[in-house]
Amino acid sequence: MSEALYHPLSEIVRRAAQRKITEDPREAKIKARLDDASDEVVLLIDTSGSMNDPIGDMAMHKSEHAQVALDDLLANYPKIRVFAFGSRCVEILNGKLPWPAGGTDMAGALKSIAHIRPRKTVIISDGMPDNADRAKEAAEKLTGVIDTIYCGPDGHPAISFLRSLCRLSGGVHVTWEGRHTLTGTVRALIGAPQP
């Protein structure tokens, strides 16, 4: 190699080696969320009063769709942990969602599952949380990825809020409009059952 070509090339290599490799802060934050997570998968189902509203053309209420999806998940994903939240959050141990009532305390729900350190949390909701700022703060402190399923009318502010939870954790947002069962959407986000 000629001296004229060697020196410029070696100078480029030397400068590149000295340059600090900076990691994208968002990617670093997502990696830290995953590094701190357990193997648990959590499904958070909104059971606020508005989940009693009908959706789609199947003559079913949102809560009925959620129950059908839950029945499938419990039969095929035995290791998933399921919580229902309205004005308070409860773990579903008997396979039955409570009757829709009350507000949407998503912040309380996210805080109540934090000790589990989930690697994935899937939130099914149809509206804005009672306190969006507190819900976002709780989501930022949660481990793992947050995926969201919005079930409600187009143009609702909850859509952009739920998307923001996904963005902070590297998750996926889906809008479900009730034209098909909720089961396939939930299964797609959760992935293959764990042995």
Residues 102 and 132: beta-carbon distance below 8 Å: no
Residues 179 and 57: beta-carbon distance below 8 Å: yes
Q: Indicate whether 70 belongs to any domain.
A: yes
Q: Indicate whether 2 belongs to any domain.
A: no
DSSP string, the chain: --HHHHHHHHHHHHHHHHS--PPPHHHHHHHHHHHT--S-EEEEEE-SGGGGSEETTTTEEHHHHHHHHHHHHHHH-TT-EEEEESSSEEE-SSS-PPPP-S---HHHHHHHHGGG--SEEEEEESS--S-HHHHHHHHHHS-SEEEEEEES-TT-HHHHHHHHHHHHHT--EEEE-SSS-HHHHHHHHH-SPP-
Q: Indicate whether 111 belongs to any domain.
A: yes
Domain count, the chain: 1
CA pair distance 171, 165, nearest whole angstrom: 8
pLDDT of residue 193 exceeding 80, the answer is no
Reported confidence tier of residue 23, pLDDT bands at 50, 70, 90 = low
Q: Indicate whether 130 belongs to any domain.
A: yes
Q: Indicate whether 151 belongs to any domain.
A: yes
pLDDT by residue (tens digit) across 140-156? 999 999 999 999 888 88
Q: Indicate whether 1 belongs to any domain.
A: no
Which of 56, 53, 121, 60 shows the shortest CA–CA distance to 89? Answer: 121
Reported confidence tier of residue 1, pLDDT bands at 50, 70, 90 = very low
Compute CA 102 distance to the chain's CA centroid, rounded to the nearest angstrom: 22
CATH code, domain with 97: 3.40.50.410
Reported confidence tier of residue 58, pLDDT bands at 50, 70, 90 = confident
Which one is predicted more confidently, 50 or 10? 50
Q: Indicate whether 17 belongs to any domain.
A: no
Q: Indicate whether 94 belongs to any domain.
A: yes
Confidence (pTM) = 0.84
Supply the range of the domain harboring residue 86.
24-190
Residues 69 and 183: beta-carbon distance below 8 Å: yes
pLDDT by residue (tens digit) across 90-112? 999 999 999 999 999 999 999 99
